[in-house]
Structure 1
Amino acid sequence: MSKGGKFSVYEGILFTTVIIVSKILYTAPTAVIRHTGTASWYTTLISCFIAIIFFLLVCMLLNRFPGKGLAKVFEAVLGKILGKTSSLFFSGYILYYAASSLREFLEMIKVYNLPNTPPSVILITFLAVSVLFAYKGIESIVRVASINCYMILLGLFIVLVMASPYYDIDYLKPYWGYGFKKSLYLGFLRSSAYEEVLTLAIIVTSLHSVKDFQKIGIISLLLSGFVISISILCYLMADQYTMGKENLSGIFQLSRIIYYNRYIQRVESVFLFIWVISSLITVSTAFYLSVRIYCESFDIADHKPILLPFALLTYVVSLQPKNISEVVDINLKFVRQYSLYLNFGVPILVLIIALIFRKKEGSGNV
């Protein structure tokens, strides 16, 4: 399929940061606080550093096959049958990720903003934009993310700063939360919360070199880890962990408590803007990646005819959970806590096989 053009290191960093950081606007902070208490703000840093280690191992794999994306590397190392099967699993998982994120957005926007709007209207409108982005290709998605990255980060910064009168540093006690061992264990599991960095491994042919791939990944992981950690820290200082684990969206709740006077209060309109934009970018990226991997697996040159079938699949999967509790406790728990075994585990296993059998670009085994 068409690779959709090239983009720079700078654009790649902004794009990757947006799709990783966007989850801070959802239920992710609440989930971490529920399991680690006051230690949640540095538990996410543990996740970040573990994700960097896993990412560097994926870099080692792609360095052995310059010019090939993850799907083609799987075929080169595992053979056509196993390689295509692995790629299809990834395509299916990414579609599941897109549908789960879309359903999470639907549930939250109905709770906070559009309670009377039919779910199908929100889903179809959202998917229509995602299909349009996927039709234009990855370059268009990256450009939109690059333009909006500063506005998203600025909007988040405004909310955190304006809520500062409500912060109480004593709410961070006890500093070890429910125990450092539990924080370390959950930090390892939730390294999958930074799995979006593997987007770069799928679209590596849109970068100028594997070196750019590594640079973008590490910088965006460090930047995202910092932003997510600070956001959770501020949320904890405002609501304490006992209340923090109860709210559906911690940052949205933070924006609602802001009150300076009758003219400056409840700035959730700022939050709503960055929330919708970042959600569109994240879901559109996942939708496009699912289509792209599928096309690469079957050597389909034109991805446009299968956009509507994939959109229908995404719509159907997004409607499967019965309620928000099922979305959070099943879909999102798997995506953000246990999917590291698939997302990082499979590429690392492929790297081990490539090292054992000495497979690399240009060798006789490829």
Structure 2
Amino acid sequence: MTVREALNVALDEELARDDRVFVLGEEVAQYNGAYKVTKGLLDKYGPKRIVDTPITESGFAGLAVGAALSGLVPICEFMTFNFSMQAIDQIINSGAKVHYMAGGIVPCPVVFRGPNGFAAGVAAQHSQDYSAWYGSIPGLKVLSPWDSEDAKGLLKAAIRDPNPVIVLENELQYGVKYPMSQEAMSSDFLLPIGKAKIIREGKDATIVSHSRSLNYCLEAAEKLQSDEGISVEIINLRSIRPLDVNTIVESVKKTNHLISVESGFPHFGLGSEICAISMETEMFDYLDAPVERITAADVPTPYAENLEALSLPSGDLIAKVVKRSLYRQK
């Protein structure tokens, strides 16, 4: 099943399960969604539950927060999270903080979802990774699915959560097919928010990543295993906030080396947080080398294809850094 199909199934199942759930955003209804994630939902559920909005992120994000405060469960699609910046006041000052400021009386069960991070040839204004931006905000939960099971299980969990949840998908992952277990095909399939998954077992080094960057981590791990006999463990974070620190610590206890990989910028990013955690937990006692960070380049993402490729993590770069961490760099 493709990631796109898994997201569509999750939306369909939750719309059928709970009549408070509705979807809104640009082109989600008549056009079946800019990326066809909402395909067929308008015909099945009608225009009151699949709602096309004007191109006004602040307006429809505010509408979504207001609907959540009124007892509905809105799923708000941003055509790209780069333009959620237009709505950041609604997401953070209205959505994330209201439950706390109301003394726990007023929940805000809203989901903001859509493509995040780098795509291909879409330049700086469409290529930014907002994991660290939203991950730094108390009151938000932030999820980052990679494969089809992630997409379905995490989106369904987000819709059922009583808090505002950000679901950061990736445009280039939408059309990628991944196997689905029998369990994942069930309409009751949920993945726990705040729990990472080890997607490759290893003993020499731990790589922590999320979303599309995991593809390059797997590529690097295969190369290192075949060329050098290096066994790499890879952790799919799934959840940015809350972050599953325990899974990272337990892996490092085994491998004694840690590399973080992300498509966000280096300054104040997710990798920076993981480095801090390595100093503040028992993980520090098990490290045989400094933690290594791999990030996007500290520049707005270039439009030119060759420069864009150089500005983002790659399998070759990850393999090189793992070897450096293991003191095996030639």
Is TM > 0.5 for Structure 1 vs Structure 2? no
Q: Indicate the structure with greater strand content.
A: 2
Between the two structures, name the one with larger relative contact order (CA 8 Å, sep ≥ 6): 1
Q: Indicate the structure with greater helix content.
A: 1
Q: TM-score, normalised on structure 2?
A: 0.30
